Amino acid sequence: MNPAAPVLARLLGRAERARLRGDAAPAALSMASARDAREYAALQSLREIEAFHAAIALAERDGAIVAERDRHRGDGETLLRLVVADVDALARHLGVDTVAQRSARAAATLAPWTARFPVIAEILALWRRDATLRKQGPEAAHDLAAAAFAVDALLADPEAARGERTLRRESVRLFGDSKRIEALTPWLDILLNGEPASSGLDKEQVWAALGLRKEPLPLLLAGVGLVELDDGSRVALPRRYLGLPAESVRAIDTPARHVLSIENAASFHDAARARGDAPVLLLYAGGMPSPTWRAAYRRLLGGLCADAAVYHWGDIDEGGMRIAAKIAETARDAGFDLRPWLMSPGDIPAAIRRHARTPTPAVLASMRRWATRAGWPGVADAIGREPILLEQEAVDPVLPR
């Protein structure tokens, strides 16, 4: 093992950062510094010192560095300073690639996907600056490429008749590995979000956005009406609620004047109990709605009267606003504007707001951006004035009437 390798690697890192900054001065390390050359300072035996000096001499011979020595004391071999002569030669001497080389290799690996996913260009720019994303550098390019392949394949036919797909079965189909998609989840999140920052969604919601579930999730409905299924049959909604495969739902005949989608299961069940005779149709979104759920939702909205009001109730947080924006996009496709329900600080009782958490500035900015994309500028302004994070389970259900 090269006894000087840790010090030379530190010198290479400094040289690469200087090159990225455009600094023309050669990078250097003081060998008298306990921080820069602690390994050198820790040498004790003559044998250790000679081995270290020999390793430095080899790096000099390779044209990688210039070593400044104390010629006035001792044997004249004591190292004072190491200066980089050639960054690429130093990397070759250490048997490693430079940031530029690793970034170029990552760019080549990701070239087939850069046009399809513009966020990849942003990631490559970070890697070229020797920055990491979620603690990952250019070495993760193969995982990012695999994630791009998965997203492209899974979204190629979002209205697939087979409905929601099982996570591990699809992982085997695409990769021959039942857990590969799960391991790629952070990259899937970035590709779906379209920006390097986290979306605020948990892993189950990321999978749902791709139409994947660990197990099939039924479409839960509560209200009054007849649901038409793909086999031509019509099923009456019972008083409490009904669960159906989302892909089987074709239409609904309902007198409901209000439709309310609800993000979380506990709140849906509370609302179903509280519905009574309210002329409202409740739907459980199951977090981030899958493509299959959104297709069924679009078909259900097609059975409403033109002046029906369509609402969504979810968490007041980054993920909740992003989910709302996705549902709003689907509602617009069906000719309806999605309205917020209990999604603004002003809708929440003061006693509950007092226990809400406060988002970071970055999270708040993302919440406001997604609220605006949902078509809710009033909500975006309200959370700007009173920033809160609140799970919908903290609020008792109140239904549109």
Reported as a single tens digit per residue, the pLDDT across 240-258 is 899 999 889 999 999 999 9
What are the tens digits of pLDDT across the range 319-328?
A: 999 999 999 9
Please state the rounded mean pLDDT for residues 285-312: 91
pLDDT digits (tens, 9 = 90+) for 176-228: 999 999 999 999 999 998 989 877 788 998 998 898 988 878 899 999 999 99
Q: Token pair of 260, please?
A: 């309310």
User: Identical fold at 5-94 and 219-394?
Assistant: no
| Predicted pLDDT of residue 342 | 96
Query: Are 326 and 291 within 8 A, CB to CB?
Result: no
Give the distance between the most distant pair of CA atoms in the chain. Answer: 98
The CATH number assigned to the domain with range 5-94 reads 1.10.10
C-alpha span between 363 and 361 (Å, rounded): 6
Write the pLDDT tens digit of every residue in 132-143.
998 999 999 999
Mean pLDDT on 310-320: 96
- What is the sign, positive or negative, of the torsion defined by CA atoms of 186, 191, 196, 198? negative
pLDDT of 161 higher than 50 = no
Task: Report CA 75 to chain centroid distance, whole Å.
Answer: 58
CATH ID of 219-394, from 2.70.98.30, 3.40.718.10, 3.40.1360.10, 3.30.70.360? 3.40.1360.10
Tokens of 214: 């660990």
Which secondary structure element, helix H or strand E, spans residue 82, and what is its range?
strand 79-84
Q: Residues near 333 by Cβ (< 8 Å), separated by ≥ 6?
A: 298
Q: What angle do CA 133, 374, 343 make, to 5 degrees?
A: 95
Q: Please give the average per-residue pLDDT across 157-173, as a whole number.
A: 75
**What does the mean pLDDT of the chain come to?**
91
Q: How far is 281 from 179, CA to CA, in rounded Å?
A: 37
In the chain, where the domains are located: 5-94, 99-213, 219-394
**How far is it, in rounded angstroms, from Cα 236 to Cα 322?**
32
Specify which residues 260 forms β-bridges with. 282, 311
